[in-house]
Amino acid sequence: MESLEKQFPQFIGTEAEPPRVARYAVNEAMIRNWVEAHDDNNPIYVDVDAARATGRRDVVCPPAMISTWVMSGYRRYREVQQLRKDGAVEDFSYSRLLALLDGAGYTSVVATNVEQEYFAELSPGDQVTAHFTIESISPFKQTGLGHGCFITLFKNYVDAAGKTLVEERFRLLRFNPETQEVPA
């Protein structure tokens, strides 16, 4: 593991992957689906008159919804899984890091936490792009799920003009499921 850990610094601070540009502009239909799925009854998300009564120009997007705009979709997920199965590595640092970990048996992942700081609201018509950086990689440690390391991705979500909307730290555990300690 020590030899793997010695390779971690080359990834820290690098662009994790190319910027993700939202496939769709922020829109009322997706906002409505989100708030209904989360049973969120805040009227400024779905009622333009309620939003305008608070000084807004239009309905606004729930802040926690930010990542949904740049999700790549199920087709891309299947493509990435096939690339991993084939042992192919895409030409960006996050893919190289995951391939390195895969090769050492650290094939499983679980998201552990997300921290977000909001700078601006989104309304229908806004376009979102996310820039990802590998912020940190912890030393290996034994966890309840198995031996692994924590990877923190820093995500900067910007609008079409490049103005920061949200800064996010997304932390995940990459672990070897065969190393889980079973209680006696």
Its pTM surpasses 0.75: yes
95-101, long-range: CB < 8 A, 24+ apart: 95/17, 96/11, 97/11, 97/134, 97/137, 97/151, 98/174, 100/4, 100/7, 101/4, 101/149, 101/174
Distance CA 6, CA 183 (A): 31
Instruction: Determine the Cα–Cα distance for residues 102 and 47; give it in Å rounded to an integer.
Output: 47
Reported as a single tens digit per residue, the pLDDT across 36-69 is: 999 999 999 999 999 999 999 999 999 999 999 9
* Band of residue 2 on the pLDDT scale cut at 50, 70, 90: confident
